[in-house]
Homo-oligomer: A and B are copies of this chain.
Amino acid sequence: MAEPSTAFVADVFARDCASRAVFDDVTSKWASLALLALLEGRTRFNALRRRVDGVSEKMLSQNLRTLESDGLVVRDVIDVIPARVEYELTPLGREVAGHLRALADVLETAVAR
């Protein structure tokens, strides 16, 4: 009889599962919109702030740091004078943002009806 698999199974329903923590991060108010904005391409902080109507500088920075630690966003410092900072999605970030975009499209269509 095959050995019972002891592979780790992630489950967003389980409050202590790491996937629940990242799911909460990704679906939080400003992080979800920052992901959608970054789906439109590599972006500088102030451009992101203008795109995500209503976000404060503090909340945007905080959420970008969370998304970076979750491996969904990378922060690039461009070596020019003065230094320039740009944000970009990682491949995993693009996959996540793609599902959020599909969700937003459904809601935008439903609301516009």
Q: Which residues on A are within 8 Å of B, measured CB to CB?
A: 7-15, 17-19, 22-24, 26-29, 32-33, 36-37, 51-54, 71, 92, 95-96, 99-100, 102-104, 106-112
A sample of 13 inter-chain contacts (CB < 8 A) reads A7-B112, A13-B37, A13-B51, A13-B52, A23-B32, A23-B103, A23-B107, A26-B103, A27-B32, A28-B29, A92-B106, A99-B100, A99-B103
A interface, over-half SS: helix
Closest 10 CB pairs of A and B: A15-B54, A10-B108, A27-B27, A99-B103, A19-B111, A10-B111, A15-B53, A10-B112, A12-B104, A19-B108
| Contact A22-B107, Cβ < 8 Å, known A28-B27, A53-B15, A99-B99 | yes
Assuming the contacts A12-B36, A33-B12, A36-B13, asked whether A92 and B104 have C-beta atoms less than 8 A apart, the reply is: no
